[in-house]
């Protein structure tokens, strides 16, 4: 059996990820902020919602859960312990394992965007390559805004993800790739991998296709927030901010602040 993962577009730029084993009618979705497109797909294809994975408490990630629970009363909902999430059957912490559709996911706590943020990582098997559902922590060529955590906290979370297997497929929750790449090129204009990624991603979006999943390898080569230890990034950030080159954490904080106003 093989695992299939496909996006369900929602809102302006969200992706709700759907997992399915071959043609088994039981499926799982990740971060269903809107129930409407999920229910439409499930109904059209005769699928049953078995489980839901939640990464954090923001409304565009949990807003559709209650309606999906009403439609599928047996659905199991997994997510982080959070006073702002009231729909869970199972609360999860660092290094716990959750099995959905026969796939074993390890829980990674990745605070910064929110304090409760977790990610789900599955090592490679004969059914699938390594898989990462990372919500709003790591984006293609970018990272989430720091709403509840601190810069050191967010950097540590990103470093945890950057150390995963290079072939890991990265399924983040938003189609922000082109905007992120424009900023990445401002931070590292001479990065040839980055230039190639911009050209490829532009063609993909012109064809109205998702730029995701990415891979950890591509992120380590082209994502400036995973490259703050590189001298070229530190120098560019220092020049932009008018300060001397400092440590990686300070570079990351200044880079994130630059992106917030880019």
Residues labelled catalytic: 56, 58, 60-61, 113, 136, 174
Is residue 68 helix, strand or coil? helix
Cα separation, 158 vs 196, in Å, equals: 23
Find out whether 145 and 260 touch, Cβ atoms under 8 Å.
Answer: yes
DSSP calls for 231-260: HHHHHHHHHHHTS----HHHHHHHHHHHHH
* Neighbouring C-alpha atoms within 13 Å toward the C-beta of 131: 23
d(CA 101, CA 50): 8
């Amino acid at each position: 059996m093989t695992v299939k993962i496909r996006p369900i577009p929602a809102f302006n730029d969200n992706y709700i990820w759907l997992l399915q084993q071959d043609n088994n009618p039981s499926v799982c979705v990740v971060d269903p902020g809107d129930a409407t497109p999920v229910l439409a797909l499930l109904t059209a294809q005769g699928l049953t919602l078995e489980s839901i994975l939640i990464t954090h408490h923001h409304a565009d990630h949990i807003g559709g859960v209650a309606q999906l629970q009403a439609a599928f009363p047996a659905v199991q909902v997994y997510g982080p312990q959070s006073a702002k999430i009231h729909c869970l059957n199972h609360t999860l912490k660092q290094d716990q394992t959750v099995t959905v559709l026969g796939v074993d996911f390890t829980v990674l706590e990745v605070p910064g965007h929110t304090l409760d943020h977790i990610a789900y990582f599955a090592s490679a098997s004969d059914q699938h390559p390594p898989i990462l559902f990372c919500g709003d922590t790591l984006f293609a060529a970018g990272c989430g805004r720091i709403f509840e955590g601190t810069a050191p906290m967010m950097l540590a979370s990103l470093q945890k993800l950057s150390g995963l297997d290079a072939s890991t497929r990265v399924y983040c929750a938003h189609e922000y790739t082109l905007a992120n790449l424009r900023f990445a090129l401002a931070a590292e204009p001479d990065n040839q991998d980055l230039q190639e990624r911009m050209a490829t991603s532009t063609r993909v979006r012109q064809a109205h296709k998702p730029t995701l999943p990415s891979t950890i390898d591509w992120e380590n080569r082209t994502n400036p927030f995973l490259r703050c230890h590189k001298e070229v990034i530190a120098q560019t950030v220092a020049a932009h901010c008018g300060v001397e080159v400092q440590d990686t954490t300070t570079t990351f904080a200044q880079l994130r602040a630059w992106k917030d106003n880019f």
